[in-house]
Structure 1
Amino acid sequence: MESKSTLPDWASRPCIMGIDEAGRGPVLGPMVYACLYCARSYEKTLSTLNFADSKTLKEEKREKLLENLKANELLGWAVDVIDPRELSAKMLKKIKVNLNEISHDSASGLVTRVLNMGVFLTEVYVDTVGDPEKYRIKLSERFPSIKFVVAKKADSLYPVVSGASIVAKVTRDRALRDWVLDETAENITRNFGSGYPGDPETKAWLEQHKHSVFGFPTLVRFSWGTCTSYSKNMVEVVWESDKTEEDGSSSSSGKRQLKLSSFGVTTSKRNNEEEIESSGKNRCKFFHARKLEQLANF
């Protein structure tokens, strides 16, 4: 989503942008990337607007600053809200996409989006993910016409990044607060706390809402290592493989059983029968129709 439906006049002059995220660490809810941009000539004024690293501000202050920011015709902003299911799906793909890559792609996507709007970006300030210099080179190679400054704690160094930090944090807080749970179980609650793994309220919610067969609600980033400790004592799901092999011949052993334990959390000790990939022979039609494969490592 973008803050401007029509391009303001100042956007055709040299502009700067700040990029920051919120929700990288939590086990619940989306990760949000946000950018703030303005004319380079507005940079000094920007430093007087009391933007700061969103983590240092109280919720009420962040909300007020965002409303001021949205009302300011000399500022533009955009966000990318990454659903927890998307995060987990990418991190558990056969060719895995780690969180740093997801973050880099989101930041690059924001730059591309603003450029495609017609904004004349000349400088972009980014709070680093991973090695700052490697990240800067990666961005510079993709956008050679833009000068990139990538730094640790950029949200406390550059007001334009501080503003982006506020946009990201408030957007995530609102998304979590207004989250519509897909699940309809009678005992499901919204008392999940901050969503961070160390939050006692979050830990209690995960324990209360794990399901012995279906795992966790879709609000949960089930690829997080945090979830592993909650997967103990899950029901072992057993699938009967098809009697007839894919080539049409009859299996010498008749029907065999393939086991999926703990909704994808596997153990290191397996017998040969359990190691048959669901993409191979004797797999159940359920897996074949959905092109699903058995994963040994996560």
Structure 2
Amino acid sequence: MKSDNIDSLESLKDYIGSQDNSKSFVYFSKIPDICKTEKCMLGVDEAGRGPVLGPMVYGISFCPVDKKSILKDLGCADSKQLTEDQRDEIFVNSNNKDYATESIGWAVDVISPNEISTSMLRRTKRSLNEVSMESAISLIKKALELEVNVTEVYVDTVGPPEKYQAKLQAIFPDIKITVAKKADSIYPIVSLASICAKVSRDHALKVWTFREGIEVPSDGFGSGYPGDPVTKRFLKNFEPLFGYPRIVRFSWSTASNALDENRAYTVEFEEEEELNEKKVKLASKKMTSFFKTEVPVKKFKRHNFFKERCLEDVIDF
């Protein structure tokens, strides 16, 4: 986690571009002193939940309850209803204008495509909802650890809002929790969190480094959403054995279907039941059975001399 001062789009891109984009990372802005002494509201929202390309970014923003008019002055609104230029302008102003930087803080959790896919496909699976909730909870906890005096939290829901709100309230019993659908269009503090998340994701894609050494097509890879024709064309380019670069969420059906349609190599793995059967068979064998020679040792018939005298081989000492 960093707290370097990001005060422009260039510094944002420089910071994100310096990260290993195959791994997740968290960025926290500097915490205004007023946020440690005054009662604060905190908003939570995400960007990039649905795309097959790139990270999902969770964002939080916070400011004193008595200073919430600043959010309206900045023009905070649902990030989906704003143009990219408008989002960028609000983001820059919130990090530049004295009246904003003295009262507003924010943070993002950039969750890599690699983490999303491995979480959803590992043996003990974590759904996208679980990944989302864990990210939101972690950011709130970190804000509290950094001494932000949070008394109210507003969250754009993941799943049923009542269930999510009860979960958060149990974790943060001393904070007023509000979870709602389309919270980013209702609460300006959530709108700013949404803008921080969206701007961070947009610029993460712009500075993405393909460490696999592939050449990006001249028309790029699009927005990353499955319906984007540019993204569809990008998904036709892959290594037949190793598949896609790490920018692709390989757990998405869009990606697996594209591999099937474009004839990627098929790799078969043994079923878990077959592996377990083999383990049982191996466990039932004696250790000495693994050291037998390939040519069986010839057995000799015991001489009558030993049989008549009831002599046996010594097996215990």
Q: TM-score, normalised to structure 1's length?
A: 0.78
Q: CA deviation at 1:235?
A: 1.6
Instruction: After superposition, give the CA deviation of every residue in 1:8-66 in whole Å (9 maximum; x if it has no partner).
Output: 13422210001110000000000000001000111233223211111111111111110
- Greater relative CO (CA pairs within 8 A, separation 6+): 2
Asked if residue 23 in structure 1 is aligned to residue 48 in structure 2, the reply is yes
Question: Which whole-Å CA distance do the structure 1 matches of 2:253 and 2:35 have between them?
Answer: 46
Change (3 A) 1:280 1:32: farther
Following TM superposition, the consecutive aligned residue runs of length 4 or more in structure 1 with deviations greater than 3 angstroms are 187-190, 273-282
Q: CA deviation at 1:175?
A: 0.3
Aligned with residue 236 of structure 1, among 256, 266, 278: 266
Question: Which whole-Å CA distance do the structure 2 matches of 1:231 and 1:189 have between them?
Answer: 18
Aligned with residue 2 of structure 1, among 25, 28, 45: 28
Q: Which has the higher helix share?
A: 2
Change (3 A) 1:275 1:234: farther
- Matching residue of 2:103: 74
Give the counterpart letter for 2:169 in structure 1.
Answer: S
- Matching residue of 1:103: 132
- Matching residue of 1:47: 72
Number of residues of Structure 1 aligned to a counterpart in Structure 2: 246
Aligned residues: CA RMSD: 1.8
Mapping for residues 187-198 of structure 1, pairs under 5 Å: 187-189=215-217, 191-198=220-227
- Matching residue of 2:209: 180
Unaligned runs of 5+ in 2: 1-26, 280-317
Q: CA deviation at 1:211?
A: 2.1
Aligned with residue 116 of structure 2, among 87, 97, 100: 87
Secondary structure at 2:212 match in 1: coil
Question: Which whole-Å CA distance do the structure 2 matches of 1:215 and 1:228 have between them?
Answer: 9
- Matching residue of 2:243: 215
Unaligned runs of 5+ in 1: 238-258, 261-272, 283-298
Question: Which whole-Å CA distance do the structure 2 matches of 1:41 and 1:143 have between them?
Answer: 22
Q: TM-score, normalised to structure 2's length?
A: 0.74
Question: Which whole-Å CA distance do the structure 1 matches of 2:251 and 2:107 have between them?
Answer: 27
Change (3 A) 1:166 1:211: same
State the identity %: 49
Change (3 A) 1:34 1:280: farther
Give the counterpart letter for 1:235 in structure 2.
Answer: Y
Give the counterpart letter for 1:34 in structure 2.
Answer: G
Question: Which whole-Å CA distance do the structure 1 matches of 2:90 and 2:239 have between them?
Answer: 40
Give the counterpart letter for 2:151 in structure 1.
Answer: T
Change (3 A) 1:9 1:213: same
Change (3 A) 1:10 1:220: closer
Change (3 A) 1:277 1:63: farther
